[in-house]
Amino acid sequence: MNNGACRYFYRRGTTVKKLIYAVFAIVIYALLSVRPALADASTDLTAQGAKIFSANCAACHQGGNNVVSANKNLKAAALKQYGMDSTDAIITQVTNGKGAMPAFKGRLKDEEIKAVAAYVLDQSAKDWKK
């Protein structure tokens, strides 16, 4: 091999390396930017849920309590005791109502019920302190 060919391969080598670095940089950037996006999505949901809660639920459930049936409150222990410690269970109860609790089907959209359920679970995990 003469010098020219060596230089050619050397340069090609660095170009390939640069390409690999560029691809890595893009992958790392993509990974880093996806995470906050996911976190934002769930905070948005609970933030939306908070508004729905104060407009539709707080009259009876202010601070995670229950002014009608005190034991059926929205604190973690009660939710667990009554099998209400999942998004699905809360969605079902809010949609169809139960006992003295009105049904919200037709009053709230499915996504709004989902958001308020996420908010209730989030708050119960924080013991309604935030």
Binding footprint of ligand HEC on the chain (CB under 6 A): 56-57, 59-61, 66, 68-69, 72-74, 78-79, 82, 84, 90, 93-94, 98-102, 104, 116, 120
Burial class (CB in 10 A: 0-12, 13-18, 19+), 120: buried
Measured from the CB atom, the residue of 43 and 81 that comes closer to ligand HEC is: 81
Measured from the CB atom, the residue of 22 and 100 that comes closer to ligand HEC is: 100
Residues 49, 118: Cα–Cα separation, whole Å: 7
Measured from the CB atom, the residue of 36 and 99 that comes closer to ligand HEC is: 99
Match 């809010």 to its residue by tokens: 94
User: Least distance from C-beta 29 to ligand HEC, angstroms?
Assistant: 39
User: Least distance from C-beta 40 to ligand HEC, angstroms?
Assistant: 23
User: Least distance from C-beta 80 to ligand HEC, angstroms?
Assistant: 9
Measured from the CB atom, the residue of 48 and 66 that comes closer to ligand HEC is: 66
Residues 55, 108: Cα–Cα separation, whole Å: 11
54-90: buried (b, 16+ CB within 10 Å) or exposed (e) per residue? eebbeebbeebbbeeeeebbbbbebbeeeebbeeeeb
